[in-house]
A and B are shown apart, each in its own frame.
Chain A
Amino acid sequence: NAGVTQTPKFRILKIGQSMTLQCTQDMNHNYMYWYRQDPGMGLKLIYYSVGAGITDKGEVPNGYNVSRSTTEDFPLRLELAAPSQTSVYFCASSYSRGSGAGQETQYFGPGTRLLVL
């Protein structure tokens, strides 16, 4: 298993440009997440998905969009890049067995470093 993979590893964008951060998992997990991590800070949840076709906002969704057409893929879209979106973006996945389980372990990808100039 490759686990959670993310592309690209690093990208420089100009203000106003758009891009899609790709995330794929091969563990058949139903839950997937996008976080951002600013330098020296903790992770903040942007969006998450509980299954194909279902997404919901996290703590900091403004400026981003997501879609979940398959179980494996959960791309994150930046429509109009702004300097405030300079950050490291992490995708994660987990498997939920529903009620009766503990917090499901989240498996993280290696991250995408984004610089907006």
Chain B
Amino acid sequence: LAKTTQPISMDSYEGQEVNITCSHNNIATNDYITWYQQFPSQGPRFIIQGYKTKVTNEVASLFIPADRKSSTLSLPRVSLSDTAVYYCLVGPRAAGNKLTFGGGTRVLVKP
């Protein structure tokens, strides 16, 4: 399983763009990259998933370079409610029974 490394914490201000980079040097060919968001006292919530290049949805964008050894989650114009822990997961094509949630990145959005 691909091991992931992401920053422990990041601070930002309302209206700014937040970029969180996740390293996964030993990503396998069939691995997908998925990001989850967790608010205090809640279970994680799926944000976005990608395999290569760029994926965008109404919440975030995910940038994956050609070598796929890293990925960057981009949160545009964050608000106070985006304060949460963000987890980068890398796992195989099949169902996520082997997924590992690391420590995640604590994002604090300040007014």
Q: Is A92 engaged at the interface, CB distance under 8 Å to the other chain?
A: yes
Number of B residues with CB within 8 Å of any CB on chain A: 26
Do A109 and B89 touch (CB < 8 A)? no
- The 0/1 profile, CB within 8 Å of B marked 1, for residues 58-101 of chain A is 11000000000000000000000000000000101010101111
Do A106 and B96 touch (CB < 8 A)? yes
Interface centre among A94, A104, A109 (most CB of B within 10 A): A104
Q: Is A2 engaged at the interface, CB distance under 8 Å to the other chain?
A: no
Question: Tally of A-B residue pairs with Cβ under 8 A?
Answer: 75
Identify the closest chain A residue to B36 (Cβ). Answer: A106
| A90 and B99 alpha carbons, distance in the complex (Å) | 14
Q: Which of A50, A100, A109 contacts B95 (CB 8 A)?
A: A50
Chain A: minimal CB distance from B87 (Å) = 7
Contacts of B89 in A (CB 8 A): 103
- Apart from A50-B97, A101-B93, A102-B32, list 8 A-B contacts with CB within 8 A: A59-B100, A96-B95, A102-B49, A103-B92, A105-B46, A105-B49, A106-B46, A110-B43
- Given contacts A41-B103, A42-B87, A42-B101, is CB(A104)–CB(B96) below 8 Å? yes
Contacts of A111 in B (CB 8 A): 41-43
| A103 and B51 alpha carbons, distance in the complex (Å) | 10
- Given contacts A103-B32, A109-B43, A110-B42, is CB(A31)–CB(B103) below 8 Å? no
| A17 and B10 alpha carbons, distance in the complex (Å) | 41
- Given contacts A102-B32, A103-B34, is CB(A90)–CB(B93) below 8 Å? no
- Given contacts A103-B32, A110-B43, is CB(A35)–CB(B101) below 8 Å? yes
Contacts of A26 in B (CB 8 A): none
| A90 and B38 alpha carbons, distance in the complex (Å) | 12
| A59 and B43 alpha carbons, distance in the complex (Å) | 19
Chain B: minimal CB distance from A21 (Å) = 13
Contacts of B94 in A (CB 8 A): 96, 98-99, 101
